[in-house]
Amino acid sequence: MFQVKVMSTRDYEFAVSLANTMDWNMAVTDFESNHFLEPNGCLVLFNGVIPVGIATCVSFGEVGWFGNFVVKPEYRRQGAGRLLLEYAVNYLRSRGVQTIGLYAYPHLEGYYSKFGFKIDDNAADVSLNVMNNSNVQAIPCCSSSLFKVEQFGAHFDFSLLACFDSEFFGADRSRLLKSLLQEKSSLCYVAFVGNDMVGYVISKDHGRIVEVGPLVCRPDLSGVAFELLGVMFQRLVGRSVVLYLSPNQVVLEAFLLRVGFRKSFSLSRMFLGGSRLQDGVCLVESLERG
């Protein structure tokens, strides 16, 4: 009989092994990070005493995100995935979440729609593009007098960054942002026009690859996004970089293609409950946390 349990540290090895059957390149640290943010949202599906599936979910007030969802092939089409997904949705609802987002492979849109998830109707193009560059090069940075870019440090007011982010994400991601900034290998740059924050970007170093994101900029200042990425890429020369390009980012996509990035694959953004995301120039933080 199938049953869902909260993931323990003993389950990390299984979770990594199962996740990487999907070529997700995950490590134990990924599940440690998810557990730190939402310990009761890291889930393992069991058939008796045998682990057969995993999923994670995280709540940001009234917004939640679902991901890392995989069931062993031999246990699919037996209600195992349904049990795991419904458990996660019910858990997030118990946390006060009203909107749940996820990124779906296009061939699974129909599956998620059975649970009430709908394609993001606020986006003309719902495809999130996963892009990579195996050898990042330094690119020229503009010397604009309109804005300044600085590395985030202890002298900055974290609440400014958190408030700026929440305006675009539609929920408070302070816990997530703070945990990212506390990682010694992370980098963060912020952009200001006068005293007003107009954009920021964070990178996470996973050893073999570096993830760049989240990135959020005001929609009328795409040049700020280019400058933030230019400054970041100068610190990542020669590294293999992956990033997740949010839907409707035509100008940013053209910039990334121009500096050597290529599309790996695309996913569809879906919501259970209406989207709360606002217009902006964006890179997604991760596929499992939005």
219: tokens are 């929609």
Classify residue 77 by burial, with Cβ atoms within 10 Å: 0-12, 13-18, 19+. Answer: exposed
Question: Is residue 233 within 8 Å of residue 226, measured between CB atoms?
Answer: no
The residue type found at 282 is C
Tens of pLDDT along 232-241? 999 999 999 9
Q: Return the minimum-mean-pLDDT range out of 122-136, 155-169, 251-265.
A: 122-136
Tens of pLDDT along 130-140? 999 999 999 88
Confidence of residue 127 (pLDDT cuts 50, 70, 90): confident
Q: Which of 268, 55, 63 is nearest to 175 (CA)?
A: 63
Tell me, what's the pLDDT at 62?
A: 96
Distance CA 172, CA 63 (A): 9
Q: How far is CA 174 from the centre of its chain?
A: 14
Tell me, what's the pLDDT at 247?
A: 85
- Stated pTM of the model: 0.94
Tens of pLDDT along 172-206? 999 999 999 999 999 999 999 998 999 999 999 99
Confidence of residue 280 (pLDDT cuts 50, 70, 90): confident
Q: Is 80's pLDDT higher than 70? A: yes
Q: Return the minimum-mean-pLDDT range out of 17-26, 180-189, 276-285.
A: 276-285
